[in-house]
Chain A
């Protein structure tokens, strides 16, 4: 259901935060990116263990 409750200030903040996050992610070195993937993998394994 559509609402008109979107707070424009909040939306602008979220868009800026996402853009900033993506800029940071792109600025990383390959080594840093691979380490970040390794962290994602470890988190996924931990999550699976937690669910099991």
Chain B
């Protein structure tokens, strides 16, 4: 993981990307118990190139390949970890990137989504494992319910909360 984070920090420093934030199970594991996952979800802002209206991951992949990464399917593998580069696909994810928090992985600085944004994105994604993850955040007391409730209202996720078994527990 350290190799992957160093590579991401390197392409950020060299200006290939503006900034990034880790989401998904790897970020969730910062707050709650380890969650099995295949990859590291890295979210960032992207703009279309001059000659195309389509977003291209090519410059990012090229830069990461120069740092030892190799492309495999939709991932770029750095060290042992497949990295999935995900452009901000919704206003909620954009907000999550902007408000991401800086944390240390060993001696390496990186950014991860807040617990509340991870929960809101999980509700939005809406698979059973996502609802279970939100329940874990609540059960382990790792989420500010007031902040999460505000996100739920702002991004119209109220219906999704019905699928979280302990949603009503300790709600403030």
Residues in B neighbouring A36, C-beta threshold 8 A = 34
- Give the interface SS of chain B, mostly helix, strand, loop or mixed: loop
* Chain B hits for A42, CB < 8 A: 80
Contact yes or no, A37 B30, CB < 8 A: no
- B36 and A34 form a contact (CB under 8 A): no
A31-B105, A31-B106, A34-B105 known; A26+B33 contact, CB < 8 A: yes
Residue among B25, B33, B80 with max Cβ neighbours from chain A (10 Å): B33
Number of interface residues of A (CB under 8 A): 16
B147 contacts the other chain (Cβ, under 8 Å)? no
Nearest A residue (CB) for B112: A30
What would 10 more interface pairs be, CB under 8 Å, given A31-B1, A31-B105?
Answer: A26-B33, A33-B33, A34-B29, A34-B105, A35-B1, A37-B36, A37-B37, A38-B81, A40-B36, A41-B37
Is B67 part of the binding interface, using a Cβ–Cβ cutoff of 8 Å? Answer: no
Across the interface, do A30 and B33 meet the contact criterion of CB distance under 8 Å? Answer: no
Q: B101 on the interface (CB 8 Å rule)?
A: no
Is B32 an interface position by the 8 A CB rule?
yes
Chain B, residue nearest A38 (CB)? B80
Q: For B34, what are the chain A residues with a Cβ–Cβ distance below 8 Å? A: 25, 28, 33-34, 36-37, 40
- Decide yes or no whether B74 CB sits under 8 A from chain A: no
Bound CA span A40–B25, Å: 13
Distance (whole angstroms) from the CB of B5 to the closest CB of chain A: 10
The answer, yes or no, to whether A49 is at the interface (CB within 8 Å) is: no
Determine whether the beta carbon of A26 is less than 8 Å from that of B140. Answer: yes
* A22 contacts the other chain (CB 8 A): yes
